[in-house]
Chain A
Amino acid sequence: MSSEKIDVRYVAKLARIALTDDEVERFGAQLGDLLEHVQALAELDVDAVPATAQVVESRNVQRVDAVRPTLDRETVLAQAPQRQGPFFRVPRIIAEAE
């Protein structure tokens, strides 16, 4: 495990969160502090230990491929920040051709 400084701006970009300069500084210090605490895990010899993702018995579940009632489209679309007919409306994703 490394203890290098976390590049908060880069990580925030990955997480799609815009940060102010003040947040970059504050979160950078706080996350650095937390990373130091988690360095404790470096002491553990875990080479031969399997990783645990789920602790209690679980297996893949499939359901019958049959049509069932679902949420009402109007009810769901009524919560949309912006809609156009039966669609969610979003800002332009692909730039117009020059």
Chain B
Amino acid sequence: MSETVSATAASITREVNAGRRSARDVTDAMLAHVDAVDDRVGAYLTRLHDLARAHADKVDARIAAGEKLPLAGVPLAVKDNMCLTGTRTTCASKILEHWVAPYTNTAVARMLEAGAIPIGKTNMDEFAMGSSCENSALGVTRNPYDLGCVPGGSSGGSAAAVAANQAAIGLGSDTGGSIREPAAFCNLVGFKPTYGRISRYGLIAFASSLDQIGPFTRTVEDTALAYDVMAGHDPMDSTSIDRAVESTADHLRTDLRGLKVGLVREFDTEGLGSDIHAVYKKAYADLEALGAEIVDVALPSAKYGLATYYLIAPAECSSNLARFDGVRYGLRVDANDVTAMYEATRSAGFGPEVKRRILIGTYALSSGYYDAYYVRAQKARTLIAKDFEKAFASCDLIACPAASSAAFPFNSKSDPYSMYLMDYYTIPMSLAGLPAISVPCGWVKVSAESAPMPMGLQLTSPIFTERMLLGAAHAYEQATKHAGLRGPAVGAA
């Protein structure tokens, strides 16, 4: 059993397609593992035993009929903001606590069609607003590498699930870093593709000009397999890009010869402490040792990323979350007239961070402030995107940290702004729509007694260059193998 639960998606699909293992066997072992460890980790809000077994049996029947499937029998964890027909889909919010999705998110549907098995729906910061999973209204998720630390967020449940071997692939959504930061905190590969590359039909919207679905895996190869399945136009999402997809899994590289890697002048890591600085210095040296030419690039507007993001994302969320009004689905708190009903429902249904963001967004869009805040932020966004364009004129990839620290203890960031700072390095790429990946790059000790915790190297590249990006990430991963230094404290195979 233990070998099965820690197996990569690549090895599971190989075994199941070859008929050496059944999807049902893989699934039963995984469900038993989840039942044994998830009471301590808290990755899943809903476990889907029956649905998982039904899908496994279907996959086995397809294999028996001679089909070859790209993800045959691969256990999948799905963030709870993605709809899956007949399953509870909560966004970790009281306002959707009992809502059952009547349709399925396209990315999830493509994964299931490819043979993946839905193990469960995972915890998250409420409506994907947060960087630690502490904003969930429905449960606590712990970092499998140190149960006293957060898993990161907002897609913390999917990250914790994959880190504790409770799935081979986890799906997350990334608006300002919500895949890359938890991947770094949980010793995983986390990938946000180009904006529009993966359909968002059936993804409950947070900030529509930024939201993008992507995978968590334990290897870059598995990320490539998942990306190849999910990427591509979907007529049900008019913001998904209608443009041919370049496959990635068959183009993974083992060196970086011929590639120029830019190091961002403004992203010097000295201020992050000597241990973290040493991790990144080593990572950049390793990129060079793999054959990359290291060049210096400037992103002078990147420091405005946080301010830009914390106007644009709340503005969009205040509009998107207007639909939760107690009329058609979700929670309703009764009152005498309809306005009082809206106010009471939204007051009881949303948690503090969601309320804060709706309020700031409503303010930024309100009469008299719209130009001063929202439009100015949209213009700053243009400057940030242009900075990247200029930088990519002299390099193929940019390397920088995925987060400014390793996973931190629970309740250590009580001031909202200190939590927002966690996404300092990931937000600029989101604003520019770029593909970006976090790959394990080393370990740091937060205190003398604590176990070392993982850090992530972020690589980003121009839009639609996923093939080059994943190829480079694979070369770095294979040459360094940082993820293997230690296994999780809970969920180890």
Contact = CB atoms under 8 A, between A and B. Distances in A.
Contacts of A31: 356, 359-360, 363
A27 B380 contact: no
Interface string B307-320: 11011000000100
Given A58-B239, A90-B327, A93-B337, 14 more contacts: A23-B352, A27-B356, A38-B310, A41-B377, A46-B380, A51-B375, A53-B378, A55-B431, A55-B433, A79-B329, A80-B328, A88-B327, A91-B337, A91-B338
B147 interface: no
Contacts of B194: 56
Contacts of A27: 352, 355-356, 359
Interface of A: 1-2, 6, 8, 11-12, 14-19, 23, 27, 30-31, 33-35, 37-42, 44, 46, 49-58, 61, 63, 71-72, 75-76, 79-82, 88, 90-93
Interface in B346-386: 346-347, 350, 352, 355-356, 358-360, 362-363, 366, 369, 372-373, 375-383, 385
A33 B378 CA distance: 21
Contacts of A63: 235
Interface of B: 99-100, 102-103, 194-196, 209, 235, 238-239, 241, 243, 301, 303-304, 306-308, 310-311, 318, 322, 325-332, 334-344, 346-347, 350, 352, 355-356, 358-360, 362-363, 366, 369, 372-373, 375-383, 385, 415-417, 431-433, 463
A71 B307 contact: no
Contacts of A17: 343, 346-347, 350, 355, 358-359
Nearest to A10: B366
Nearest to A54: B209
Chain A interface helix/strand/loop/mixed: loop
Give me the 8 closest cross-chain CB pairs, A-B, nearest first.
A81-B332, A55-B433, A51-B378, A46-B379, A61-B238, A18-B343, A18-B347, A16-B342
B304 A44 contact: yes
B328 A79 contact: yes
Contacts of B310: 34, 37-38
Contacts of A30: 356, 415-416
Given A15-B318, A19-B347, A44 B326 contact: no
A1 B356 CA distance: 20
A41 B364 CA distance: 13
Nearest to A81: B332
Contacts of A8: 359
B355 A71 contact: no
A4 B213 CA distance: 37
